[in-house]
């Protein structure tokens, strides 16, 4: 479970056992007695329980990242500072036009004046495929719920205010999202109902805990560096627990 | 997706005409690519043919190639790894060195787009760029010309810009890049044509180390560079250095270098005097020249690291590499000067760190004896030769060595046994060797003098283990001479060495590896490298020994010059002018610190000593047959 470290020469980013990139873990050692394992001295077995935070994008999931390059033919995104993504022009919906504004290349929405995607924009996009070896995502901006995160969040907030009902409506939207099989961020365990995705303060709290875990874990110093500088704070991931 | 430009922006109107034609080209290429799957290969084959354009191109072909590359950049998502194999092969086979800057830019753009489009192409793109680290073989000689240098700058700046861009778009690219760079590095097992590329290649590696991805690749790349230095070092046999001309000793050559430096401090890298032995014989040696160039490249890189405040972190990696590679490569002749120069650039941090590490290895029982002996040999040579080290620090390290030796002596039941106590003897020899160089400078500082006098040197050196008898006679005799003059201590027993360089006992403790005669920081024989080292280096002739007063310093050089002329005559190196002086003292001073190892070689082959040996100033590992 070691995150890439050039010094250790272990660039084992994608963990095949957990089918994802391990971002953080919280370990509870259940039994302080270690069992001697015959044949593989000096190793011994320790029983433990761990909560793992994994990055494991699957097709049709929504992922968020920062635009780092934009051309007429493609948008290049970095997710969590270590995963690259590309959205080709074939996967950008008609709503968006490639243009230049104030000397800068952008994809601007025809329908909504303020919905603009340019270098530095945090966007939400759909996963089409994921190359585990190089952690490269092929993405799509076809669905209506994709685009600039700031604009999408503002839009949903305006919708909520206009409707005059509050949390109950958000929960309903959250559940309907689940029904559409669109999940935000990493893989969600279907075992536990406690970890359903919710656009709520609870999710933000969970994410903050995850970041806290990451910062506490020495082994993830390299990753911490990546997390910090990629302005990922607004991204939200549920926590998965494995028993 | 359409393209509409705001009507109220004038410049966008200008762009419109240009962009439409670019867009048309992109669509045309996309069509050519997609039509392959339906069996229509004509346009595709034309595209592949354009990629093969090379050599001196007329303007039309140049424009065609450039626009095709640009159009392909916009169509990379349509490239299929199996259907468009020939196109990919031709793209990855292109060398930027063959083209003008405009085409270089277009090719660079295509490679970046390709690498960022899919994980499948990342390795191939990186391999293509690494392949462009070095020019085609026909271009190698042109690198020395202005036109060649300009082309090199044009290519390498674009190659590294492309790598940076790929890194920005694909954060894991450095992980893929590292094995490619290391595997493609020219090695000593390659033919000379390929090996000659190693300097340019290493230049690129060091550029990567300084780049944005440096933090991720630094350790591996620097270690690979040091490994290559050692490999080349190993290829230079001691026979390449030794020369048939016995008429001049190494000490004399060293003296001439010092005189040159003293005459004109700005002259660096001058032509060597014709009497130079070893450099002359090395000059025609390709490996030596390559190693010399590589060392200079490394030195310059260290200078730039120092300038940007990165020297300490680079040094830590070099230190690690030194411990793993250089320390145990006992035949290393020049590679260790990388450490020397890094220390010279930052004496207070790197300089002290290096010496402390060497001392730590010596005193630690965790390391094998050979490693410990090698380490203390490096330490002794370093403390003696590094001009930038303070006497105060040297005394503190000497104390560590003496304390360790004393502790060793306190183990009961020790008697003279060169093999069993070889680590101890190597420690004692190191202490004596350092004091041969530094005694005077230490005694000149009252505080340090008292520290030295307080050290239990006498207890250690007069112990039953009898290091004075076992250690290298030339070192012991010089040390005793200086100790006596400095009133450090005196020995009642007369050690008669007959100007022996080495003895049976010293050979025993040195072992097959001859670590008794290993002084790795003896003057560097590589011309260009030495010009960097020289200002920081102590030559024996610069040393004020304890038995010379100030007024005799100038006569030292004359004495040493005469020394050379008399080497072959009577082997005692005496000049008639010195007969009025204390013959015992002058015998030592004349024979101080210079040897002709070939004598040792020939003497050993003959089975008996023919000529007396002199104090080693430039000692190389023994060339006795069993050690070769």
Closest CA to A3 of A68, A59, A80: A80
Report the chain A residue with the minimal C-alpha distance to residue B174: A6
Between B1, B113, B215, which is nearest A89 by CB?
Answer: B1
Q: What is the DSSP string of B373-393?
A: HHHHHHHHHHHHHBTTS-HHH
Burial of residue B218 (CB within 10 Å: 0-12, 13-18, 19+) is buried
A189 at interface of B, judged by CB pairs closer than 8 A: no
Task: Judge: B6–A101 Cβ closer than 8 Å, yes or no.
Answer: yes
Task: Judge: B23–A72 Cβ closer than 8 Å, yes or no.
Answer: yes
Q: How far is CA B105 from CA B29, B72, B169, B284, in A?
A: 19, 13, 18, 40
A-chain residues within 8 Å CB-CB of B171? Answer: 78, 81-84, 226
Task: Judge: A6–B77 Cβ closer than 8 Å, yes or no.
Answer: no
A154 sits in which H/E element: helix A149-163
A101 at interface of B, judged by CB pairs closer than 8 A: yes
A-chain residues within 8 Å CB-CB of B19? Answer: 72
Report the chain B residue with the minimal C-alpha distance to residue A222: B216
A5 at interface of B, judged by CB pairs closer than 8 A: no
Please state, as a whole number, how many other Cβ atoms lie within 10 Å of the Cβ of residue A6. 19
Residues in CB range of B213: below 8 A, 6 or more apart:
B163, B164, B167, B173, B174, B177
Burial of residue B52 (CB within 10 Å: 0-12, 13-18, 19+) is exposed
- pLDDT higher than threshold 80 for residue A198: no
Q: Rounded distance, CA A198 to CA B375, Å?
A: 63
Q: Rounded distance, CA B25 to CA B619, Å?
A: 70
A83 at interface of B, judged by CB pairs closer than 8 A: yes
Q: Rounded distance, CA A88 to CA A75, Å?
A: 6
Q: Rounded distance, CA B34 to CA B50, Å?
A: 18
- Choose, out of B171, B316, B319, the residue to mutate when testing the contact with A (most A CBs < 10 Å): B171
Task: Judge: A69–B120 Cβ closer than 8 Å, yes or no.
Answer: no
Count chain A–chain B contacts defined by CB atoms under 8 A: 100
Please state, as a whole number, how many other Cβ atoms lie within 10 Å of the Cβ of residue B109. 19
The verdict on ipTM greater than 0.85 is: no
Mean pLDDT of A102-109: 93
Q: What is the DSSP secondary structure assignment for residue A184, as one 8-state letter?
A: B
Task: Judge: A81–B171 Cβ closer than 8 Å, yes or no.
Answer: yes
What is the nearest CA distance from A93 to chain B, expressed in angstroms?
Answer: 7
- pLDDT higher than threshold 90 for residue A137: yes
- Which token pair is B89? 């092969």
Closest CA to B435 of B375, B378, B391: B391
Indicate the pTM of the whole model: 0.76
Low-confidence residues of chain B, pLDDT below 70? 1-20, 238-284, 330-331, 493-501, 549-628
Q: Rounded distance, CA B213 to CA A69, Å?
A: 18
Residue B545: φ, ψ to 5°: -85, 165
A-chain residues within 8 Å CB-CB of B218? Answer: 6
Between B117, B175, B219, which is nearest A11 by CB?
Answer: B175
A138 at interface of B, judged by CB pairs closer than 8 A: yes
How much is the pLDDT for B269?
Answer: 39
Mean pLDDT of A227-240: 30
Report the chain A residue with the minimal C-alpha distance to residue B178: A6
B220 at interface of A, judged by CB pairs closer than 8 A: yes
Taking all residues of chain A, what is their mean pLDDT, rounded to a whole number? Answer: 71
A-chain residues within 8 Å CB-CB of B212? Answer: none
SS (H, E, C) B546-590: CCCCHHHHHHHHHHHHHHHHHCCCCCCCCCHHHHHCCHHHHHHHH
Tell me the β-bridge partners of A108: A97, A116
B461 sits in which H/E element: helix B457-461
Q: Are B469 and B505 in contact (CB under 8 A)?
A: yes
A-chain residues within 8 Å CB-CB of B4? Answer: 97, 99, 110
Between B74, B172, B219, which is nearest A7 by CB?
Answer: B219
How much is the pLDDT for B453?
Answer: 92
Tell me the β-bridge partners of A5: A10
Please state, as a whole number, how many other Cβ atoms lie within 10 Å of the Cβ of residue B375. 25
B2 at interface of A, judged by CB pairs closer than 8 A: yes
Q: Rounded distance, CA B540 to CA B21, Å?
A: 74
Q: Are B621 and B238 in contact (CB under 8 A)?
A: yes
**Higher confidence at residue B129 or residue A11?**
B129
Burial of residue B183 (CB within 10 Å: 0-12, 13-18, 19+) is exposed
B4 at interface of A, judged by CB pairs closer than 8 A: yes
B-chain residues within 8 Å CB-CB of A133? Answer: 119
A88 at interface of B, judged by CB pairs closer than 8 A: yes
How much is the pLDDT for A35?
Answer: 83
């Amino acid at each position: 479970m070691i995150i890439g470290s050039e010094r250790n020469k272990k660039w084992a980013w994608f963990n095949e056992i957990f089918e994802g990139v391990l971002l953080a873990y919280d370990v509870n050692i259940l039994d302080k007695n270690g069992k001697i394992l015959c044949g593989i001295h000096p190793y011994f077995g320790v029983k433990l329980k761990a909560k793992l935070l994994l990055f494991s994008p699957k097709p049709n999931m929504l992922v968020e990242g920062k635009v780092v390059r934009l051309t007429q033919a493609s948008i290049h995104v970095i997710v969590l500072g270590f995963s690259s993504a590309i959205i080709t022009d074939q996967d950008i919906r008609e709503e968006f036009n490639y243009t230049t504004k104030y000397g800068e290349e952008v994809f601007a929405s025809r329908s909504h004046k303020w919905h603009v995607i340019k270098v530095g924009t945090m966007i939400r996009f759909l996963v089409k495929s994921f190359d585990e070896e190089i952690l490269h995502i092929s993405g799509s901006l076809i669905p209506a719920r994709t685009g600039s995160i700031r604009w999408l969040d503002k839009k949903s907030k305006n919708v909520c205010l206009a409707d005059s009902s509050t949390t109950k409506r958000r929960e309903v939207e959250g559940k309907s999202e689940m029904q559409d099989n669109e999940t935000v961020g990493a893989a969600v365990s279907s075992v536990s109902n406690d970890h359903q995705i919710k656009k709520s303060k609870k999710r933000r709290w969970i994410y903050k805990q995850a970041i806290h875990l990451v910062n506490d874990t020495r082994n993830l110093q390299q990753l911490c560096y990546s997390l910090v500088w990629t302005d990922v704070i607004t991204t939200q991931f549920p926590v998965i627990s494995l028993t | 997706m359409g393209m509409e430009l705001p009507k109220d922006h004038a410049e966008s109107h200008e762009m419109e005409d240009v962009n439409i034609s670019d867009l048309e080209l992109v669509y045309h290429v996309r069509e050519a690519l997609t039509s392959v799957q339906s069996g229509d290969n004509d346009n595709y084959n034309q595209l592949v043919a354009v990629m093969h354009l090379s050599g001196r191109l007329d303007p039309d072909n140049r424009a065609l190639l450039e626009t095709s590359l640009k159009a392909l950049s916009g169509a990379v998502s349509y490239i299929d790894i199996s259907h468009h194999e020939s196109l990919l092969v031709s793209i990855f086979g292109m060398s930027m060195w063959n083209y003008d800057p405009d085409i270089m830019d277009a090719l660079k753009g295509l490679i970046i787009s390709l690498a960022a489009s899919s994980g499948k192409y990342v390795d191939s793109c990186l391999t293509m760029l690494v392949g462009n680290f070095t020019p085609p073989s026909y271009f190698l000689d042109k690198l020395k010309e202005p036109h060649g240098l300009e082309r090199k700058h044009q290519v390498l700046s674009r190659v590294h810009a492309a790598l940076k861009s790929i890194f920005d778009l694909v954060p894991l690219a450095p992980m893929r890049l590292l094995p490619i760079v290391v595997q493609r590095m020219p090695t000593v097992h390659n033919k000379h044509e390929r090996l000659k590329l190693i300097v340019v290649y290493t230049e690129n590696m060091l550029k990567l180390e300084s780049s944005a991805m440096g933090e991720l690749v630094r350790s591996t790349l620097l270690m690979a560079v040091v490994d290559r230095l050692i490999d080349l070092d190993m290829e230079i046999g001691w026979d390449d250095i030794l020369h048939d001309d016995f008429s001049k000793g190494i000490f004399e050559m060293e003296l001439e270098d010092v005189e040159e430096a003293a005459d004109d401090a700005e002259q660096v890298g001058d032509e060597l005097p014709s009497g130079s032995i070893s450099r002359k014989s090395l000059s025609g040696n390709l490996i030596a020249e390559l190693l010399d160039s590589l060392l200079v490249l490394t030195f310059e890189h260290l200078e730039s690291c120092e300038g940007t405040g990165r020297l300490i972190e680079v040094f830590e990696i070099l230190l690690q590499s030194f411990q793993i590679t250089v320390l145990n490569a006992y035949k290393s002749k020049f590679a260790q000067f990388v450490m020397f120069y890094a220390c010279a650039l930052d004496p207070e941090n790197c300089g002290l760190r290096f010496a402390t590490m060497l001392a730590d290895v010596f005193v630690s029982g965790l390391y094998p004896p050979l490693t410990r002996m090698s380490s203390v040999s490096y330490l002794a040579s370093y403390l003696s030769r590094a001009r930038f080290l303070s006497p105060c620090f040297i005394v503190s390290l000497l104390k560590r060595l003496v304390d360790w030796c004393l502790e060793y002596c306190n183990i009961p039941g020790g008697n003279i046994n060169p093999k069993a106590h070889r680590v101890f003897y190597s420690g004692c020899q190191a202490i004596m060797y350092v004091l041969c160089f530094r005694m005077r400078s230490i005694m000149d500082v009252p505080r340090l003098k008292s520290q030295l006098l307080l050290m239990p040197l006498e207890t250690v050196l007069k112990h039953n283990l009898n290091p004075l008898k076992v250690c290298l006679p030339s070192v012991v005799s010089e040390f005793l001479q200086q100790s006596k003059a400095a009133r450090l201590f005196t020995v009642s027993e007369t050690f008669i060495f007959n100007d022996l360089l080495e003895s049976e006992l010293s050979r025993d403790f040195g072992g097959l590896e001859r670590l008794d005669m290993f002084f790795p920081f003896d003057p560097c024989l590589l011309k260009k490298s030495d010009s960097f080292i020289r200002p920081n280096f102590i030559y024996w002739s610069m040393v004020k020994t304890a038995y010379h007063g100030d007024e005799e310093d100038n006569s030292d050089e004359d004495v040493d010059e005469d020394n050379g002329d008399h080497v072959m005559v009577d082997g005692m190196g005496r000049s008639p002018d010195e007969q009025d002086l204390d013959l015992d003292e002058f015998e030592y001073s004349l024979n101080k610190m210079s040897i002709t190892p070939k004598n040792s070689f020939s003497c050993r082959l003959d089975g008996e000593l023919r000529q007396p040996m002199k104090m080693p100033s430039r000692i190389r590992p023994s060339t006795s047959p069993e050690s070769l």
